[in-house]
Amino acid sequence: MKHDARTITASDGIPLRLEQWEPEGPVRFAVMLVHGGGDHVGRFGTVVETLGALGGFVFGIDLRGQGASGGPRGHVDRFEDYANDLRHTLLEVAATRPEAQQPSRMPWFVYGHSVGGLATLLYLLDRASDVPLRGVILSAPLLGLAMEVPGYKKQIARIAVKLLPKLALPSGIPPTWISHDPTAVAAYVADERRVTVSSAGWYFAMIRAIERVKTEIGRIRVPLLWLAPGEDGVADPRAHAPMFARLTEPQRDDQTLVDLPGCFHEAHNELPNLRDKAMQIVRDWVAERVERSSDAIG
């Protein structure tokens, strides 16, 4: 796949690193990647290869405060700022794609992982109509922390968010929680583009975003493939089913929750047997909806 990167500017002036991958053959659909916390869009090679093999044009930004994008490290004032950046990116990329001038012939998807899954849900609540989406994949969306935050740390955070909301502290997530694959863990640890801190302001923005999604998720009508890793030590696996149950009519709206037994947080970076199973689910789901779009055109 042909890869390139450039910088775009958010509506409030923050520089955002944009990467995109062009398939070898004709473009059949487009997918925006939205990465997790302390991560960057360059760590999704397996997803890029899976979707590119189907004819997917794949792109995504490093979220503000993360990776090679600008902004205070590990900080965001509101998760809605992430959602606004996603809208800006979709519109920016669509403006450069001749296929996008006929959206019925160019199905658009979003693949949001972890924090990116939570940001994607906010985008769907506020901006889903800006670029019509054929479907959304949510990979281990962050709807609660699997590890309990000690009371004293919560108290410190409450004080810090008033005095120094952008003060960044180590996130404290063990690298071994992302995958059973030692090679993937080693690459994760060695990756200097990752941001390994988060701010008190970011923590409380996350809490507010989760509460908002819990209240409003029933308004989402976009087709969803919701992937729930069964051994996730980062995003609470117990949160998926109750939140999915708040969707109004999942069968009518083509919304599916799929459990991934045995997977840690990053199914796309898991051991080959686990990773391949998860990617096959994604591949089949996207392929079916792209085919439906082609049939509708024909």
| 162, pLDDT greater than 70 | no
At residue 280 the predicted structure's pLDDT band, cuts being 50, 70 and 90, is very high
Q: How many domains does the chain have?
A: 1
| 173, pLDDT greater than 70 | yes
pLDDT value at residue 101 = 62
CA-CA distance, 59 to 50, in Å (whole number)?
13
pLDDT value at residue 108 = 95
pLDDT value at residue 154 = 64
pLDDT value at residue 163 = 63
CA-CA distance, 189 to 193, in Å (whole number)?
10
86-104 pLDDT tens trace: 999 999 999 888 776 665 6
| 171, pLDDT greater than 90 | no
pLDDT value at residue 130 = 82
DSSP string, the chain: -EEEEEEEE-TTS-EEEEEEEE-SS---EEEEEE--TT--GGG-HHHHHHHHTTTEEEEEEPPTTSTTS-SSTT--S-HHHHHHHHHHHHHHHHHT-GGGGSGGGS-EEEEEETHHHHHHHHHHHHHTTTS--SEEEEES--SSBSSPPPHHHHHHHHHHHHH-TT-EEE----GGGS-S-HHHHHHHHH-TTS--EEEHHHHHHHHHHHHHHHHHGGG--S-EEEEEETT-SSB-GGGHHHHHTTSS-TTTTTEEEEEETT--S-GGGS-HHHHHHHHHHHHHHHHHHHHHHHHHH-
At 132, which CATH number?
3.40.50.1820
Average pLDDT over residues 147-152: 62
| 128, pLDDT greater than 90 | no
15-25 pLDDT tens trace: 999 999 999 99
% of the chain surpassing 90 pLDDT:
80
At residue 132 the predicted structure's pLDDT band, cuts being 50, 70 and 90, is confident
Average pLDDT over residues 221-229: 98
CA-CA distance, 98 to 198, in Å (whole number)?
39
Residue with the larger pLDDT of the pair 30 and 153: 30
Q: Which two tokens stand for residue 25?
A: 């053959």
Q: Tokens 């979709």 — which residue?
A: 90
What residues make up the domain containing 143? 2-297
DSSP string, 17-61: EEEEEE-SS---EEEEEE--TT--GGG-HHHHHHHHTTTEEEEEE
Average pLDDT over residues 247-265: 98
pTM for the full predicted model: 0.94
| 156, pLDDT greater than 70 | no
pLDDT value at residue 157 = 65
| 152, pLDDT greater than 70 | no
pLDDT value at residue 102 = 63
30-88 pLDDT tens trace: 999 999 999 999 999 999 999 999 999 999 999 999 999 999 999 999 999 999 999 99
233-253 pLDDT tens trace: 999 999 999 999 999 999 999
| 262, pLDDT greater than 80 | yes
Mean pLDDT (the chain) is: 92
Average pLDDT over residues 213-226: 97
Average pLDDT over residues 259-284: 98
